[in-house]
Structure 1
Amino acid sequence: MEPALIGTRLASAAIGPLLKKLLVDEGPGAGLVPKGAQVRLSGLVSFRGEKRALTEKDVRGLAATLVERSRQGTGEPPFPADETEAVTDALAGNLLALGDLDMDDVQAVRLGHRDLARRLRAAAPAPDGLSTDSVLYLETLTEWACLHILEFFTRRSTFIARSLVEQTRAQAELLAKVDEVIRRTPRAETGDAEFERRYLAHLAKKHGRLTIHGVDLHHSPDEWPLDMAYLSLEATGAEDPHEASGRPREQASVRADLALARHERVLLRGLAGSGKTTLIQWLTVSAATAEDRDRPEGMAYLRGRIPFVLPLRALTRHGERLPSPDRFLPAAGCPLTPPDGWTDRVLAAGRGLVLVDGIDEIPETERGRARDWLRDLLGAYEGNRWLVTSRPTAVRDDWLAPDGFTELNLAPMTRTEVTTFVRRWHRAAGPDAAGYEQPLLDSLRTAEHVARLATNPLMCGLICALHRDRRGFLPRGRKALYEAALSVLLSRRDRERDMGAPTGLTLDEAPQIQLIQRLAYWLTLNGRTQLDRDRAASIVAEAVPAVPDASAYPPEKVFTHLLHRSGLLREPTADTVEFVHRTFQDHLAAKALVDHWDIGVLVRHAADDQWEDVIRMAVGHARPRECAEILGELLKAADAAEDRLVRLRLTLLAATALDHATELSPEIREEVLRRTGEVVPPRGPEEARQLAEVGPLVLGLLGGPEELTDEEALTSVITATHVTTDAALPYLARFVRHPKLAIRSQLIWSWSRFDTHSYAKEIVTHLDPKGLIFTIRTNDQAEALIGLGLAPSWLNIGFDVSSTRTAQLLSLCDPVRLSLESWEDPYELPVMPPSSRLRHLEVHMFDPDASVDLAPFASLSHLEKVEVHGSVTGAEHLPTHVEVTHL
């Protein structure tokens, strides 16, 4: 018999009197005081308390009667006859759980009979060994019992009285909220509403497109629809990072565009090009959107907010005083004229979204005055939302902390965010750009020098634009790519944004590079990435007289300009200076070394891993004869090294430098490759990873599974899985049936380094699954596994996999062992049927204070062990035989 038909056997006339025995008679009143009518469920059941009307044995008898009556007259038994006693015991346990729920009758009715039944099943001991038919029968019968119990509650006069009280309270709360909405709503007679409609439409149009500065786009427009190209990044607080399952994470983290939902006042710091101004555009457009259904996900908190976009560089361009509220719109260049007093009314009502962009873009002497202006506004208008942006070094720590501002920093983009950015950028660029998207994603996976630059929206946009503008070809090698990036950061970006000269001087790109490369040379020569501010200033001061374009200015002023406007330098502390990214330091140091032709310095440091990129880039800067000399000296140094690892490193350094040479004789190239072939197969994982730095060329030097020992096969596979191009797939495919588990584990673990679907088709689908943990890190991998129809018994599902994809995976695979990762707090476990085969569950919470509720897994009959890295609730609902451990 179908379980859904059980209800036809349990008419109210039959089930009602039976279940009524479970419940006590009603008392008077609304149940508002302890001595009046008791409305907690523990007080409504007749088998709890000192004056019990029923014992647990009686409750079991009621359950047996319900089970028997539901079976009467059925042609087909709803469950196996030999499970009748187990089903009866389970139903009795569900009914007895009524006395353990911490809720009252009104809350129970609001919950509904199905959710109440789920609560009872979670609170009761899990039935052991029931068939699927018995489990479905038990679920349906419990729901029917709950339906009649709730019917009983609604007939009690105390329920009616208490419901009226609850409704009165809810109405009072609703009226208060309506009054607040009315208070904040502009009065129609003043014309505010009509003006706001026009003003918001103007903002949506003005800020609805994203401009990429500093890139020659001969074949593409330089503006993109904001809602297509925008990518929200993470903003982190000042707490120190910690390790969680091998992944570093900032403790205080929030999606940047949701920071104002959590904090009323935010000072947001970010490097040049990190997306501060774009974030302000996004907040403005989100607030200006009229309907919630059209507003981006998560941005409903901006409903009713009126944005005021205040770019400080424009407000003080000619030395004007910062504007009062009635001058906000004209000072920011808005052509609309508001009704008299409109801005004051908006801010006084707490409806404003005040976005102050670019503290760093006004002269340092004016920043104290800007803070005083801001403090006056804060004191006059409460309840608004305030966002102030700045580069990290422009103002000291806690600059606005006394005024209640939370300081956050825009985090670098992750690989997933970079991929998302590239896809959105090309979608925004239109159909003509579609063919360039996948080749660029391939380059980001395979060309490390490109991927290492793609850490913020400016650099990602630069790479996308250069790739598109050059019809699918990025500038050849690091040298050209870095020079394009330097051009953006040093001159074109500020010029094209009409920045003027906020530091009081103007320097072109070439003199800035000449001066900054002196700092890079000093840092690299001294084996450092950071130097004292005074030392940096003195290095620049010594170089200024030799640079004609800079010599006309005071050296200290030149240094201040380089520090705050170049986009290449930053101050991690008040008295230190460093490059924003080590790659720029290496690039400029290599240029300085080649300019001075300090080849002896290069060779002396060739075995130092901090110099590897410098040497590669020096080959890129050098002329052909100079390239041959550098590579020849590296091979000589390798011959002279007594340590095998040093010889390997020098040989591979010469091999990886080949791609940087603009021109090189075939003899030198062949000699380098021949020497590389002498160090394969690699000995150990470290050598394997170093060998992979040679790139796809090394694949032809690696042996196959039939000619390698197990250890040699493992190190060879490690090398190939670090050569992240499709060229590695045919080689890796030869190992998919290898009997050594470590080799197959290396193959599945490396999936995320390659194109998801190509790797799935050529590697994953052919893997021998015996003993193998299938690690799924992304939704794309989950979809690929589902599409392949594979059903591994051991799954490791990463935190980036959505709940929908997780549910689909679990329904397909029904794993025996499952490992889950999550950033959420609290984390809701996926729904799994009681018939699941799951025996061993691991949950890794990356926030150590986050918790996971284990109660939903109480009905899993095969569960034996649970391990949780984080906090646990609901463990008491699990069967006693389940071993639970947590850290």
Structure 2
Amino acid sequence: MEPALIGTRLASAAIGPLLKKLLASESPGAGLVRKDAEVRLSGLVSFRGEKRTLTEKDVRKLAATLVERSRRGDGEPPFPADETEAVTDALAANLLALGDLDMDDVQAVRLGHRDLARRLRAAAPAPDGLSTDSVLYLETMTEWACLHILEFFTRRSTFIARSLVEQTRAQAELLAGVDAVLTRLPAAESRDAAFERRYLAHLAKKHGRLTIYGVDLHHSPDEWPLDMAYLSLEATGGEGAPEAPGRQREQASVRADLALARHERVLLRGLAGSGKTTLVQWLTVSAAATEDRPEGMAYLRGRVPFVLPLRALTRHGERLPSPDRFLSAAGCPLTPPDGWTDRVLAAGRGLVLVDGIDEIPEAERGRARDWLRDLLGAYEGNRWLVTSRPTAVRDDWLAPEGFAELALAPMARTEVTTFVRRWHKAAGPDAAVYEQPLLDALRTAEHVAQLATNPLMCGLICALHRDRRGFLPRGRKALYEAALSMLLSRRDRERDMGAPTGLVLDEAPQIQLIQRLAYWLTLNGRTQLDRAHAASIVAEAVPAVPDASAYPPDRVFTHLLHRSGLLREPTADTVEFVHRTFQDHLAAKALVDHWDIGVLVRHAADDQWEDVIRMAVGHARPRECAEILRELLSAADAAEDRRVRLRLTLLAATALDHATEVSPEVRGEVLRRTGEVIPPRTAEEARQLAQVGPLVLELLGAPEELTDEEAVHSVTTASHVTTDAALLYLARFVRHPSLEVRSQLMWSWFRFDPRSYAEEIVARLDPSDLIFTVGGDEQAAELVRLGLTPLRLSIESPVSEDLKARLLSLCDPVRLQLKQVGGVAKLPPLPPSSRLSRLELFQFNPATTLDLAPLSALAHLERVEVYGPGSVIGVEFLPPRIHVDIRRSSIL
């Protein structure tokens, strides 16, 4: 029963005075200065306190009156008559509970009559044994009473005053709370979020381009879009500690830009130009991206990068910055809200990229580590990357701080190819024409390929190639000198490095000192030497180099080791060149400077000295160059071994291309002697020339310069030199009109990588009258992959039955050779619709019995030839149009 229904039975004018008796008489004012300043409901009822006007018995009588009057009238009574007394007692208990509630009248009015009724019923003893109608009546009657009681409260003269006071207090508390929250969150967050968006956009723009330092080019821009040119390299490092003394940790490999997904803290080592700074740029741009992050980089979502190049932070001897100075110290023009960096790092959202521990003075590196330790201790949960050259800090330098130590690996051949393609794409449409010639050069010119092992050198080679309109220097001198200039002087200068080792040396004195190391290594047939011995060689040479003699020799050696980019320490006590080719180049220069021609000639037959001799010709002046070449020819004449004579003659011919100037007489003699053996004129000469090695490829003639017979023998020579350079030379003959030349190319497939050869040679061969030979599953799979469908096909027994069936289904040849059928007693399935007209079978197993009867279903078959000692049956089932020729003694 609703209060409204009860209200129709209880007239408010009559019942109101009854309920008003429950409340004490009021006093004027808000009641704020009374002794009991907080006036609770217990002080407002008439049946509590010192001046009670009602007793509990009176309250029960009041409840009985209310119940009796609500039962009057027509219609069905609200509850069973026999429960009247129990209902009355329960209503009285509810009304009495008004004095037990811990609230005042303002709070009661704020609750509302229904919630107040629920509070009263909860505070009163629960009635037992009441029917559902009685319980419902009790609930609605209590609510109706509460409605009147609250009405009385609002009419009290003190209520309005108290309400205003309470409202003022609540508003003040609310405003104070809002102010506190705003101080911590909304306004600050709003400012932080707005600044963060600007900051990330600034980073994306600033670091979104890749710069190549030290390249003096006129036709090539020095910046490229990072997302187009970036190549992710591999990083390797120990996983965990060694299990026993002296035992090496297992080497694990991870994509460098995913290292921070696996490790929260990483110390990444890498040689000069290996891509450390570029990786920092890539991580920064990936974290700054608001959408479309590169593959695998989603782990940086929500991270805020702080790029801290140490060379810039301490350029003028400044203290390393605290977080509030990160941006200004790194040259960021934006001003963050107060405390923004601290809030980002405290929340664990930072990506802190500390680039170049090696690029600050050695004396300051300990202080840098203390600075890092303080930051790490203050801010948990962030990601940290610190980069360094390999020897700048000792092993486990940051291991106590939980850093995993990784090292960037040299670029693999496939990565070099990818880099070159991306570089040319980034350089714009005008550069596209230079891409394939450079890839060819990287495969044919070993001296170029040896340099292209890191992004810096690859970028240099790409830029030099484009600047020279698609031509790299035929000799190595110009290429190496450009690389040396960049590594030894221009790169640090253009990066505004200052003098991190405390001394300044130009390019020339550094070369003079480092070539002493190269000379000793080459002369002694080594690629490494003890660190102490290397330091003593440099110390011995320093007094003779004026620019270096002003510094202590040990500091000069340290500078060369850490800043030249040419040397590295593979272990703590050994030194080597970062590339063997730099050692050869500088050793050749030292040999020419010392004019040790006898040393050169004595080692001319040693293939480890080939590059040194050719580069020595490049360094030599005209008269010196002529003498070296004459001595090589004289040594060839004196050699008893024909192979040695060939090698020395060809070495002189290849060295000739490195000479900047040589007399016509000497040039003519070298060319005459070379012409006696190149091109090869017989198969035997072709194989002998191949024994000389890759240098012969530089002398073999082009297809248009050779007769058909010379072309066959030249292809034979090149096919026995199984290098990428040979592959490129062979590719020049794929459209040759001679079937014998193209057959030689086809037969040479097995000597090379199946996929590379298939793509470069087989897929481009002129198929006219050519039988495509498949000698194994890898070759068969390549034909299927490339979708090649030759009309003439030769399949040997190493090919599995499954691949053989797939290949035959794809090609449906008109001529088919099945070699070494051997133990296979049945032919591969061929559909009746097959266009096969000629089938040649070669059996090597005398125990094999070959049934030809299934061939009768082939509609186009005209000739079957069987070679070998095995038995043949089923010939009688073949139609007369199929000619069968069995030659048991003839096997190819």
**Fold-level similarity (TM above 0.5):** yes
In structure 2, relative to structure 1, the CA distance for the partners of 1:644 and 1:697 (3 Å cut) is closer
Moved more, 745-754 or 667-676: 745-754
Deviation at 1:347, TM superposition (A): 1.6
In structure 2, relative to structure 1, the CA distance for the partners of 1:632 and 1:404 (3 Å cut) is same
Match of 1:749 in 2: 753
Measure, in 2, the Cα distance between the counterparts of 1:403 and 1:544: 40
Measure, in 1, the Cα distance between the counterparts of 2:274 and 2:585: 21
| Partner SS, residue 440 of structure 1 | helix
Match of 2:164 in 1: none
Match of 1:615 in 2: 613
Deviation at 1:720, TM superposition (A): 8.5
Measure, in 1, the Cα distance between the counterparts of 2:556 and 2:214: 23
Q: Which amino acid aligns with 1:425?
A: W
Match of 2:696 in 1: 694
Q: Provide, for residues 147-176 of structure 1, a one-character-per-residue CA deviation record: whole Å limited to 9, x for no partner.
A: xxxxxxxxxxxxxxxxxxxxxxxxxxxxxx
| Partner SS, residue 673 of structure 1 | helix
In structure 2, relative to structure 1, the CA distance for the partners of 1:633 and 1:579 (3 Å cut) is same
Measure, in 1, the Cα distance between the counterparts of 2:527 and 2:416: 26
* 1:323 corresponds to 2:321: yes
Measure, in 1, the Cα distance between the counterparts of 2:755 and 2:358: 43
Deviation at 1:751, TM superposition (A): 6.2
**Larger Rg: 1 or 2?**
2
Measure, in 2, the Cα distance between the counterparts of 1:778 and 1:590: 47
Structure 1 residues 573-722: aligned runs within 5 Å: 573-664=571-662, 665=664, 666-677=667-678, 681=683, 688=690, 690-699=692-701, 717-719=719-721, 722=725
Deviation at 1:642, TM superposition (A): 3.0
Q: Which amino acid aligns with 1:366?
A: E
Measure, in 1, the Cα distance between the counterparts of 2:691 and 2:203: 52
Measure, in 1, the Cα distance between the counterparts of 2:691 and 2:677: 14
| Partner SS, residue 477 of structure 1 | coil
Match of 1:463 in 2: 461
In structure 2, relative to structure 1, the CA distance for the partners of 1:763 and 1:661 (3 Å cut) is farther
Measure, in 2, the Cα distance between the counterparts of 1:330 and 1:585: 43
Structure 1 residues 326-365: aligned runs within 5 Å: 326-365=324-363
Q: Provide, for residues 627-677 of structure 1, a one-character-per-residue CA deviation record: whole Å limited to 9, x for no partner.
A: 232122222222323334433332332232222122332422323313544
What is the count of residue pairs matched by the alignment? 608
Measure, in 2, the Cα distance between the counterparts of 1:576 and 1:213: 29
In structure 2, relative to structure 1, the CA distance for the partners of 1:708 and 1:420 (3 Å cut) is closer
Deviation at 1:344, TM superposition (A): 1.9
Higher relative contact order (CA 8 A, sep 6+): 1
Report if the CA contact (8 A) 2:652-2:670 is conserved.
no
Deviation at 1:488, TM superposition (A): 0.4
| Partner SS, residue 594 of structure 1 | helix
Q: Which amino acid aligns with 1:334?
A: C
Q: Which amino acid aligns with 2:690?
A: A
Deviation at 1:363, TM superposition (A): 0.7
Match of 1:449 in 2: 447
Deviation at 1:235, TM superposition (A): 1.2
Match of 1:396 in 2: 394
In structure 2, relative to structure 1, the CA distance for the partners of 1:652 and 1:364 (3 Å cut) is same
Report if the CA contact (8 A) 1:775-1:795 is conserved.
no
| Partner SS, residue 302 of structure 2 | coil
Q: Which amino acid aligns with 2:312?
A: A
Q: Provide, for residues 709-750 of structure 1, a one-character-per-residue CA deviation record: whole Å limited to 9, x for no partner.
A: 99x986563248753445753279657798899934337637
Match of 1:729 in 2: 732
In structure 2, relative to structure 1, the CA distance for the partners of 1:308 and 1:713 (3 Å cut) is closer
Q: Provide, for residues 85-113 of structure 1, a one-character-per-residue CA deviation record: whole Å limited to 9, x for no partner.
A: xxxxxxxxxxxxxxxxxxxxxxxxxxxxx
Deviation at 1:687, TM superposition (A): 5.7
In structure 2, relative to structure 1, the CA distance for the partners of 1:314 and 1:740 (3 Å cut) is closer
In structure 2, relative to structure 1, the CA distance for the partners of 1:260 and 1:548 (3 Å cut) is same
Report if the CA contact (8 A) 1:234-1:254 is conserved.
yes
Q: Provide, for residues 570-628 of structure 1, a one-character-per-residue CA deviation record: whole Å limited to 9, x for no partner.
A: 11111211111110010011011111211111111112222111111111111233223
Q: Which amino acid aligns with 2:776?
A: I
Match of 2:376 in 1: 378
| Partner SS, residue 699 of structure 2 | helix
Match of 1:849 in 2: none
Measure, in 2, the Cα distance between the counterparts of 1:363 and 1:321: 13
Measure, in 2, the Cα distance between the counterparts of 1:764 and 1:495: 57
Measure, in 1, the Cα distance between the counterparts of 2:286 and 2:807: 35
Match of 1:415 in 2: 413
Match of 2:764 in 1: 761
Measure, in 1, the Cα distance between the counterparts of 2:658 and 2:423: 28
Measure, in 1, the Cα distance between the counterparts of 2:443 and 2:780: 16
| Partner SS, residue 690 of structure 1 | coil
Match of 1:299 in 2: 297
Match of 2:261 in 1: 261
Deviation at 1:813, TM superposition (A): 8.4
Measure, in 2, the Cα distance between the counterparts of 1:238 and 1:707: 55
Match of 1:884 in 2: none
Report if the CA contact (8 A) 1:775-1:796 is conserved.
no
Q: Provide, for residues 108-129 of structure 1, a one-character-per-residue CA deviation record: whole Å limited to 9, x for no partner.
A: xxxxxxxxxxxxxxxxxxxxxx
Measure, in 2, the Cα distance between the counterparts of 1:730 and 1:301: 50
Measure, in 1, the Cα distance between the counterparts of 2:691 and 2:390: 35
Match of 2:159 in 1: none
Q: Provide, for residues 60-88 of structure 1, a one-character-per-residue CA deviation record: whole Å limited to 9, x for no partner.
A: xxxxxxxxxxxxxxxxxxxxxxxxxxxxx
Report if the CA contact (8 A) 1:682-1:716 is conserved.
no
Q: Provide, for residues 301-330 of structure 1, a one-character-per-residue CA deviation record: whole Å limited to 9, x for no partner.
A: 111111111111111111122112222111
* 1:428 corresponds to 2:432: no
Deviation at 1:269, TM superposition (A): 1.0
Measure, in 2, the Cα distance between the counterparts of 1:347 and 1:765: 70
In structure 2, relative to structure 1, the CA distance for the partners of 1:811 and 1:342 (3 Å cut) is farther
Per the normalisation by structure 1, the TM-score is: 0.62
Measure, in 2, the Cα distance between the counterparts of 1:412 and 1:776: 30
Deviation at 1:420, TM superposition (A): 1.6
Measure, in 2, the Cα distance between the counterparts of 1:672 and 1:218: 41
In structure 2, relative to structure 1, the CA distance for the partners of 1:471 and 1:791 (3 Å cut) is same
| Partner SS, residue 268 of structure 2 | strand
Measure, in 2, the Cα distance between the counterparts of 1:791 and 1:357: 59
In structure 2, relative to structure 1, the CA distance for the partners of 1:790 and 1:228 (3 Å cut) is farther
Structure 1 residues 157-236: aligned runs within 5 Å: 189-190=188-189, 191-236=191-236
RMSD, matched Cα: 3.9
Report if the CA contact (8 A) 1:696-1:727 is conserved.
no
Q: Provide, for residues 124-154 of structure 1, a one-character-per-residue CA deviation record: whole Å limited to 9, x for no partner.
A: xxxxxxxxxxxxxxxxxxxxxxxxxxxxxxx
In structure 2, relative to structure 1, the CA distance for the partners of 1:758 and 1:728 (3 Å cut) is closer
Report if the CA contact (8 A) 1:531-1:576 is conserved.
yes
Measure, in 2, the Cα distance between the counterparts of 1:562 and 1:597: 25
Per the normalisation by structure 2, the TM-score is: 0.62
In structure 2, relative to structure 1, the CA distance for the partners of 1:622 and 1:189 (3 Å cut) is closer
Measure, in 2, the Cα distance between the counterparts of 1:615 and 1:548: 29
Report if the CA contact (8 A) 1:744-1:767 is conserved.
no
| Partner SS, residue 252 of structure 1 | strand
Q: Provide, for residues 18-65 of structure 1, a one-character-per-residue CA deviation record: whole Å limited to 9, x for no partner.
A: xxxxxxxxxxxxxxxxxxxxxxxxxxxxxxxxxxxxxxxxxxxxxxxx
Report if the CA contact (8 A) 2:235-2:255 is conserved.
yes
In structure 2, relative to structure 1, the CA distance for the partners of 1:387 and 1:678 (3 Å cut) is same
Deviation at 1:393, TM superposition (A): 1.1
Q: Which amino acid aligns with 2:569?
A: E
Deviation at 1:792, TM superposition (A): 10
Report if the CA contact (8 A) 1:736-1:766 is conserved.
no
Report if the CA contact (8 A) 1:619-1:630 is conserved.
yes
